[in-house]
Structure 1
């Protein structure tokens, strides 16, 4: 059974990485809102912000989601851990759904293929950061270290 590491020494780096993803999404949302303000929320014109196509609805959702990710990255407990894992799955599922409606009238948030790729990339980053920023008591961290360096595991690593 796979186990998520507890109190990983690189946790601050992973939190910064998830915070940067949240910051990009927030800046995209703010910039997209400025560019599309006054247009219908679900317009499908050619407004682009930070390399992604946007409309007002997508930009406003991005502002909210970016704030949520930044809040999650700023928390020291497991809230950020669970938020990153959940957001990563949401990004991956959304990217697949986006790709399936790209050339249809169901593309009401004005997605493009670049949005799909960025969403998949962010989903993978957030799942990775969520997997390594779990916090727990020192006993759990010691148990995780023992599991990683168990003599049976050492035998399997040598093969």
Structure 2
């Protein structure tokens, strides 16, 4: 069974990384809404913002995701942990799905290959931060640390 570190010492760094990526997504979304306002929601025009191609739908989704990710990064509990793991999966699946329809009319979010690569990179970053920002009681953290370093539980104790 996989064991996710609890109360990892670098947790604040991982929260900052997740927050910075969330901030980039929010800024991208706001600038994208500004640049694509007045066009169709799923327009396939050649609009680029911060190095990524976008349309109004993708920009609005980015604003919502950016706000949510910033909220998750600012909380001290496990909300950020679950949000980062979920966002990692969403970004990875979206990147792969949009790559399969890149040169077709099904590319409704107006992705380019650079947008796919950034989506996959953000997915990996969110998965990594989600794996190391779990919070728990100190007893649980000590038991998890002992398990990772090969200590055996005492005979009378069940996990």
Normalised to the residue count of structure 1, the TM-score between the two structures is 0.93
Structure 2 distance, partners of 1:36, 1:149, is 53
Structure 2 SS opposite 1:48: strand
Match of 1:78 in 2: 78
Please list, as runs of the form range in 1=range in 2, the aligned pairs for 1:21-100 lying within 5 A after superposition.
21-100=21-100
Q: CA RMSD in A?
A: 0.9
- Structure in which a larger fraction of residues adopt helix: 1
Displacement of 1:151 after TM fit?
5.2
**How far 1:2 sits from its partner (Å)?**
1.9
Runs (4 or more) in structure 1 with deviation over 6 Å come to none
TM-score, L = length of structure 2: 0.93
* Count of aligned residue pairs for this structure pair: 152
Unaligned 5+ residue runs, structure 1?
153-159
- For 1:63-142, what aligned pairs fall within 5 Å after superposition? 63-142=63-142
5+ residue gaps, structure 2: 153-159
